[in-house]
A = this chain, B = another copy of it.
Amino acid sequence: TLADAIFRHLDHGAAAGPSLAGRHALVTAGPTHEPIDPVRYLANRSSGRQGYAIAAALAARGARVTLVSGPVDLPPPPGIDVRRVETATQMLAACRAALPCDIAVCTAAVADWHVANPTDRKMKKAPGATAPVLTLAPNPDILAHLAAAGPARPALVVGFAAETHDLERYAAAKRVAKGCDWIVANDVRPETGIMGGAENEIVLISADGSERWPRLTKEAVAQRLAQRIAEYFSPDRSPA
């Protein structure tokens, strides 16, 4: 029946708890690829799954979502404005173009560096020649840009920290250094299976301290984070 169809739609599409209707959320996801030459590039490992899930969870709470995505093999979530980019420089430009927003969630694994002198000709491996040296140059810091004080600063800026060692210490320092409100920290040592996997185990760090969530699917992490964000914007707001 029509009633059943509507019920199923609501059941899948909407989330219990506070709404984000009327809010604009910017989510970055995936890696960036930094060209070396036309066939080679530097990359970060990132499936984009956590960021896409967060974009979908924010949309399910009624937010208008702009998803700025590096190269990933994921279908665009329905109802979300997806802007595809390749490099960190392109990602920053797409984020700036998406402002203003109320919420910025930066899950993308943005390359810290690009190759200083990419060539438009494939590098040749000459017999007997020495291997080339790649000189790197720093990329723009997208999270720090979005978190910088100013009239366009989103009300809530959430960064991600993927670390292999000293997770909480690096993540807490990153929150302060970048000027963002929350950091979602996760341990990406290969043995955790988190990178590219279906699950995530995170520590949410705010000015109020840190809390460790149990190991959850990336979708469940996204829903919990979206709920926290909606609570932050609700009139009877509770601290993160």
Q: Does A42 lie within 8 Å of B44, measured CB to CB?
A: no
Identify A38's interface contact among B113, B122, B131, B188, CB under 8 A: B188
Is the C-beta of A195 less than 8 angstroms from some C-beta in chain B? yes
CB-nearest residue of chain B to A127: B177
Closest Cβ of chain B to A118, distance in Å, is: 12
Is the C-beta of A43 less than 8 angstroms from some C-beta in chain B? yes
Closest Cβ of chain B to A46, distance in Å, is: 8
CB-CB under 8 A from A122, the residues of chain B are 162-165, 188
CB-CB under 8 A from A44, the residues of chain B are 39-41
Q: How large is the interface on A (under 10, 10 to 19, 20 to 34, 35 or more residues)?
A: 35 or more
Is the C-beta of A109 less than 8 angstroms from some C-beta in chain B? yes
Q: Does B132 lie within 8 Å of A165, measured CB to CB?
A: no
- From known contacts A73-B73, A138-B131, infer whether A188 and B43 are also in contact, taking CB-CB under 8 Å: no
Residues 35-51 (chain A) with a chain B CB within 8 angstroms: 36, 38-45
Most chain B beta-carbon contacts within 10 A, residue among A33, A45, A125, A137? A45
Identify A134's interface contact among B134, B163, B188, B190, CB under 8 A: B134
Interface readout for A98-127 with B: 1 if CB under 8 Å, 0 if not? 000000000001011100100011110101
A3 to B190 Cα, complex, angstroms: 51
Q: Does A132 lie within 8 Å of B113, measured CB to CB?
A: yes
Q: Does A40 lie within 8 Å of B111, measured CB to CB?
A: yes
Is the C-beta of A96 less than 8 angstroms from some C-beta in chain B? no
Closest Cβ of chain B to A176, distance in Å, is: 12
Q: Does A136 lie within 8 Å of B132, measured CB to CB?
A: yes
Is the C-beta of A133 less than 8 angstroms from some C-beta in chain B? yes
CB-based closest 6 A-B pairs = A131-B136, A73-B73, A134-B134, A112-B125, A122-B164, A38-B164
